[in-house]
Structure 1
Amino acid sequence: MIKQPHASSREIIVANAIKEVVGELRLVDVADYIAFIRLEQFGCISDIVDSAAELFFVPGALKLGHGGEAYVGWIETPRIELDLELRPAGATVYFTLSLTALHASVEVNYVAFDRPEADPELNTAFLADAVERARIRRTAPVAQG
């Protein structure tokens, strides 16, 4: 697939939006991801993603897509790839999250807009705003005295 010129800016939007979720996903042992993927227990991975996402996004905004892959070998660092969907109001981003021991990356595969504009830059700006609106804002507790 040929990458579109605006894809990298959209990958940055998605990566920044999910970085806290990635931290939560890393709390699960890599061996568990490998087992769930190899045994095709994607419901378990979906539950993990849902639990991590509910801390930072409105319900349904981030979920597991079609599954994932585990790349494991005798001489390579394990890599887990999860197909995810980010669904802020007005858009759906289909992307792959890749996790290794020291790195995480996002590759946007496709973005569908409910009402796309002719200008890709306007669509990218809309996506950034929509993702921000889908995030849960936590406020500091008020001290009672």
Structure 2
Amino acid sequence: MNRQPHSASREAIVAEAIKDVVGELRLVDAADYISFIRLEHFSTVSDIVDSAAELFFAPGTLKLGHGGEAEVSWSDPPRIVLDLELRPEGVTVYFALILEDERAAVVVNYVSFDRPDPDPLCNTAYLADAIERSRIRKTAVAASR
């Protein structure tokens, strides 16, 4: 895949937007992810992602895409890769979330805008604004508890 010059900035936007969700996803033991993925229980992984995302985003904004991978060996810590979709209004981001023992990373595979602008910088700004509009405000979360 040829990386576009604006890919790094979009990855940073997505990574920043989902950092709280990643914290919630890390509450699940790596062994559970390995089991669910190896046994192809992706509906369970989808439920986990949905539960973590509902704390921070409007319903349906962040969801599991087509699955994931569990990379496990005798010599290295496990590496969980989840195929995710971020769908704020007007844009869809297809990306991989990589969870490792001491870090997490986002790799954006494709971004689709409903009404793309010819200027990639305008599209990147739109992405950031759309994500912000789809976030649940912390005061709203506190009030619902």
- TM interval, shorter chain, is over 0.9
Q: Distance in 1 between matches of 2:3 and 2:73?
A: 29
Runs of 4 or more, structure 1, over 3 Å off, are none
Q: Distance in 2 between matches of 1:25 and 1:101?
A: 13
2:76 alignment counterpart: 76
Letter in 2 for 1:129: D
Q: Distance in 2 between matches of 1:10 and 1:67?
A: 22
Whether 2:71 is the aligned partner of 1:66: answer: no
1:52 alignment counterpart: 52
Q: Could you tell me the percent identity over the aligned residues?
A: 70
TM-superposition CA deviations, 1:39-94 (whole Å, max 9, x none): 00000000000000000000000000000000000001110000000000000000
TM-score scaled by length of structure 2: 0.96
For structure 2, the residue ranges without an aligned partner over 5 or more in a row are none
Correspondence list, 1:109-124, <5 A: 109-124=109-124
Query: Quick check: which has more Rg, 1 or 2?
Result: 1
2:4 alignment counterpart: 4
Correspondence list, 1:100-139, <5 A: 100-139=100-139
TM-superposition CA deviations, 1:2-50 (whole Å, max 9, x none): 1110000000000000000000000000000000000000000000000
Q: Distance in 1 between matches of 2:50 and 2:138?
A: 18
Q: Distance in 2 between matches of 1:135 and 1:67?
A: 24
Task: Specify the SS of the correspondent of 1:96.
Answer: strand
1 or 2, which has the higher helix percentage? Answer: 2
Task: Specify the SS of the correspondent of 1:139.
Answer: helix
For structure 1, the residue ranges without an aligned partner over 5 or more in a row are none
TM-fit CA distance, 1:139: 1.8
Task: Specify the SS of the correspondent of 1:33.
Answer: helix
